[in-house]
Chain A
Amino acid sequence: MHAVPSGVLTGVHYLDGDFACGEGAMAAGCRFVAGYPITPSTEVVERIARRFPMMGGVFIQMEDELASMAAIVGASWTGTKSMTVTSGPGFSLMMENIGLAAMMETPCVVVNVQRAGPSTGLPTMVGQGDMMQARWGSHGDYAIIALCPQSPQEAFDLTVDAFNLSEQYRVPVLIMMDECVGHMTEKVVIPTADRIEVVPRTLTAKSPAEYWPYQTNGGMVPEFARAGDGYRFHTTGLTHDERGYPAMSVECQERCVRRLVEKIRSNADRIVRFEEEETDGADVVVVAYGITARVARAGMELARKRGVKVGFFRLVVAWPFPERRIRELAGGVKAFVVPEINCGQMVLEVERSAAGKAAAISLPHAGGGVHEPERIAEALVEAVK
């Protein structure tokens, strides 16, 4: 189905990443947002708060991020597409109910405009230190999807995609933006509504008597019923059976949790998305995401001028990680160089996927700024020696 025109600000705009993300949410059909102010993400909800009353949306500023995340899970069970927005400290608080959303299989979108941590860190300055938290931050085993926009245009596009993926897989989708992209202003082209594909919330066609909330009939994603349509279903954060009833057994835990993980893992090839350039014949590949991908391009150009055959690999979807493609590339290159604004997080995935066939070289940056392109160039030169 196409986007509903009331939410789509068609035109060519000059927007920062935060505003573009807000526009993407509205275009995707998001009509409920709960949030708590936190730098550098607040502009996303400020944008939405200003536009929602004209399109049937509700924004509420909750008392904290625990409440914001809980509220969007609740709202999503009414079939209303829902989102919350935060940065590091708030992201930590949201972990509790991100786990609930994963367990209840609730479609929702969480935006983290990353700043440098840990703790309060550098509130106004860039970081990419929440990448592993995005994957593993809530307790127990589950799977999520995480996207990394590199520009305001992508902040718009990927936010639409995030909603679509969350509907398709009934999973929380995280937009792992960073402060630089959030606060960078660039051209953003918003197409007409009929050019924006949105996945609507699909409601079960079964009658209440036939319906079980977690029955998948061998598939991976159960059918959805929303509150207020007479299904009188039950859902819980406890381990549950197909009826949604708590079931405290090893067998039920196995069925319930394995499917939560497998519905993403087994569809990883469909979900994974990356941008790859000149990796054929490359001796070294730079792997990056978000703002760092743009800096890495500059570093790569410098290294190429010095005669190094550099390939470029950008994570658009960070989770699930494109392990199959990295493994393939590892057979043909000497090394991967992974600059990121943390002390080495996604490099661990590169190293795991490369499985010893190529080196994975971390280029850490503790945050507050981006890498010097020269530093990346030097690392690329060094990697092929």
Chain B
Amino acid sequence: MSTALEGTEVRPDEHPIAPFMRMDRMPHIWCPECGLGTVVKCFAAALEETKVDLDKLAIVSGIGCTGRTAGYMKLDGFHSTHGRAIPFATGLKLGRPELLVTVFSGDGDLVGIGGNHFIHAARRNMDLFVILVNNFIYGMTGGQNAPTTPIEARSSTMPFGNFERAFNLPHLAASCGASYVARWTCLHVRRLSKAFGEGLNRKGFRFVEVIAPCPTLYARLNKLGGGLDLMRFYHDDAEVRNGADTREVGIAYQQKIICGKFVDEEKPTFLEMMHAHYRRILGEKYVPMPPEGGLLRG
């Protein structure tokens, strides 16, 4: 603890985001200088701002560092299997359509092992808000190459530098049909909170990619300094370009990171299309799933 804070110690339950957190699970397992704390803080700020009904908000994570988020937030939280957060969340949404379902997971989880689910959920414009925290590496397992690792960057499984091309995630989501696509870094806290607020309030497949520092593995293996150095890099080399053509927002190693809101369109969602279709074809015979779900009562 720094001396500046002496005598002004804040009790954990007085922390501004405490109402959204499982404070009985603190301290968390994330490393010092990791960007995840900032992302969670921005998400909590968006919950505060949007006043969404927290009882109807479910959060689903897969496996990995970001995957722990579902366990730290005081919501109905599901820590599912590696890569399967999106299909798990799809079941939650379709089983009880009134739920607001958020997926909170990492790049390896959502577009590595879970890539197939990601593109199909975007194609369906499934009613999910997907937050992907991209640290360019597999953190939890110790710094292995990810489908987001830029060419030339080192990882523990590409010790001589990566030679595989990385995904351009906003373009992947947009080209599959997502309603909302944005990218921000951990430095852009106000814009990130705003994007989370928009994500919570929009319909269909909403996707926010958050670029976050991994000082322990990505930065160390690549000699990029600490978390603060990465934040400085975001400060100097992130460029806000709202509405940019997503074909042009791919990330190259230590090159400019294009941030912004790239897609924000009203498109019919999976549930809207399903209801409209069955109503048109079946008319009065169509019985939709009740908003509160298919629970049978006596």
Q: Does A227 contact B (CB under 8 A)?
A: yes
1/0 contact string of A62-84 vs chain B (CB within 8 Å)? 11101110111111111111100
Please state if A60 and B95 are interface contacts (CB–CB under 8 Å): no
Tell me the bound Cα distance from A1 to B56 in angstroms. Answer: 28
Q: Chain A's nearest CB lies how many Å from the CB of B62? A: 10
B244 CB contacts on chain A under 8 angstroms: none
Tell me the bound Cα distance from A142 to B56 in angstroms. Answer: 31
B90 CB contacts on chain A under 8 angstroms: 34, 60, 62, 67, 71, 74
Q: Does B286 contact A (CB under 8 A)?
A: yes
B296 CB contacts on chain A under 8 angstroms: 1, 4, 29, 31, 81, 198, 200-201
Q: Does A228 contact B (CB under 8 A)?
A: yes
Please state if A75 and B285 are interface contacts (CB–CB under 8 Å): no
Tell me the bound Cα distance from A321 to B94 in angstroms. Answer: 35
Within 8 A of A (CB), among B277-298: 278, 282, 285-290, 292-298
Task: Among B74, B91, B288, point to the contact of A71 (Cβ < 8 A).
Answer: B91
Please state if B71 and A79 are interface contacts (CB–CB under 8 Å): no
Please state if B75 and A56 are interface contacts (CB–CB under 8 Å): no
Q: Does B240 contact A (CB under 8 A)?
A: no
Q: Does B202 contact A (CB under 8 A)?
A: no
Please state if A234 and B79 are interface contacts (CB–CB under 8 Å): yes
Please state if B55 and A232 are interface contacts (CB–CB under 8 Å): yes
B278 CB contacts on chain A under 8 angstroms: 53
* A54-B286, A78-B295, A228-B98 known; A70-B81 Cβ under 8 A: yes
A198 CB contacts on chain B under 8 angstroms: 296
Tell me the bound Cα distance from A111 to B295 in angstroms. Answer: 21
Please state if B287 and A53 are interface contacts (CB–CB under 8 Å): yes
Q: Does B60 contact A (CB under 8 A)?
A: yes
A57 CB contacts on chain B under 8 angstroms: 289, 294
* A200-B296, A200-B298, A228-B292 known; A66-B84 Cβ under 8 A: yes
A231 CB contacts on chain B under 8 angstroms: 76
Please state if A228 and B80 are interface contacts (CB–CB under 8 Å): no
Task: Among A68, A78, A99, point to the contact of B293 (Cβ < 8 A).
Answer: A78
Tell me the bound Cα distance from A58 to B294 in angstroms. Answer: 9
Q: Chain A's nearest CB lies how many Å from the CB of B126? A: 9
* A58-B289, A63-B117, A198-B296 known; A79-B96 Cβ under 8 A: yes
Please state if A227 and B58 are interface contacts (CB–CB under 8 Å): yes
* A73-B91, A75-B94, A246-B71 known; A80-B120 Cβ under 8 A: no
Q: Chain B's nearest CB lies how many Å from the CB of A349? A: 29
Within 8 A of B (CB), among A199-236: 200-201, 203, 226-236
B78 CB contacts on chain A under 8 angstroms: 74, 77, 227, 234-236
Tell me the bound Cα distance from A234 to B75 in angstroms. Answer: 8
Q: Chain B's nearest CB lies how many Å from the CB of A107? A: 12
Tell me the bound Cα distance from A81 to B293 in angstroms. Answer: 10
A68 CB contacts on chain B under 8 angstroms: 87
Please state if A227 and B92 are interface contacts (CB–CB under 8 Å): yes
Within 8 A of A (CB), among B250-298: 274, 278, 282, 285-290, 292-298
Please state if A77 and B95 are interface contacts (CB–CB under 8 Å): yes
Please state if B91 and A34 are interface contacts (CB–CB under 8 Å): yes
Tell me the bound Cα distance from A29 to B99 in angstroms. Answer: 21
Q: Does B88 contact A (CB under 8 A)?
A: yes
Please state if A80 and B75 are interface contacts (CB–CB under 8 Å): no
Q: Does A96 contact B (CB under 8 A)?
A: yes
Please state if B294 and A96 are interface contacts (CB–CB under 8 Å): no
Smallest CB gap from A245: residue in B: B25
Smallest CB gap from A3: residue in B: B296
* A63-B120, A74-B90, A227-B96 known; A201-B295 Cβ under 8 A: yes
Q: Does A32 contact B (CB under 8 A)?
A: yes
Q: Chain B's nearest CB lies how many Å from the CB of A201? A: 6
A58 CB contacts on chain B under 8 angstroms: 94-95, 274, 289, 294
Please state if B294 and A62 are interface contacts (CB–CB under 8 Å): no
Smallest CB gap from A108: residue in B: B91
Tell me the bound Cα distance from A107 to B77 in angstroms. Answer: 18
Tell me the bound Cα distance from A56 to B211 in angstroms. Answer: 41
Please state if B94 and A54 are interface contacts (CB–CB under 8 Å): no
Task: Among B70, B71, B99, point to the contact of A228 (Cβ < 8 A).
Answer: B99
Q: Does A191 contact B (CB under 8 A)?
A: no
Please state if A32 and B91 are interface contacts (CB–CB under 8 Å): yes
Please state if A74 and B91 are interface contacts (CB–CB under 8 Å): yes
Please state if A76 and B80 are interface contacts (CB–CB under 8 Å): no
Q: Chain A's nearest CB lies how many Å from the CB of B167? A: 17
Task: Determine which residue in A67, A99, A100 has the highest number of CB atoms from chain B within 10 A of its CB, and name it.
Answer: A67
Please state if B99 and A78 are interface contacts (CB–CB under 8 Å): yes
Please state if B80 and A100 are interface contacts (CB–CB under 8 Å): yes
Task: Among A63, A96, A99, A236, point to the contact of B71 (Cβ < 8 A).
Answer: A236
B55 CB contacts on chain A under 8 angstroms: 228-230, 232
Please state if B290 and A234 are interface contacts (CB–CB under 8 Å): no
B92 CB contacts on chain A under 8 angstroms: 74-75, 77-78, 227
Please state if B91 and A70 are interface contacts (CB–CB under 8 Å): yes
Please state if B95 and A78 are interface contacts (CB–CB under 8 Å): yes
Please state if B87 and A71 are interface contacts (CB–CB under 8 Å): yes
B88 CB contacts on chain A under 8 angstroms: 70-71, 73-74
Q: Chain B's nearest CB lies how many Å from the CB of A263? A: 21
Tell me the bound Cα distance from A53 to B294 in angstroms. Answer: 13
1/0 contact string of A1-35 vs chain B (CB within 8 Å)? 10010100000000000000000000001011010
Tell me the bound Cα distance from A261 to B120 in angstroms. Answer: 36
Q: Chain A's nearest CB lies how many Å from the CB of B178? A: 16
Given A82-B95, A234-B71, A245-B25, 19 more pairs with CB closer than 8 A: A31-B289, A32-B94, A53-B282, A54-B285, A56-B288, A57-B289, A58-B294, A60-B90, A60-B94, A73-B88, A74-B88, A74-B90, A81-B294, A82-B91, A100-B84, A228-B76, A228-B98, A230-B55, A232-B75
Q: List 28 interface pairs A-B (beta carbons < 8 Å), by A numbering.
A: A6-B287, A31-B296, A32-B91, A34-B90, A54-B285, A56-B287, A62-B87, A62-B120, A63-B117, A63-B120, A64-B116, A66-B87, A70-B80, A70-B88, A73-B88, A74-B60, A74-B90, A74-B92, A77-B76, A78-B95, A78-B295, A96-B81, A200-B298, A226-B96, A227-B76, A228-B98, A234-B77, A235-B79
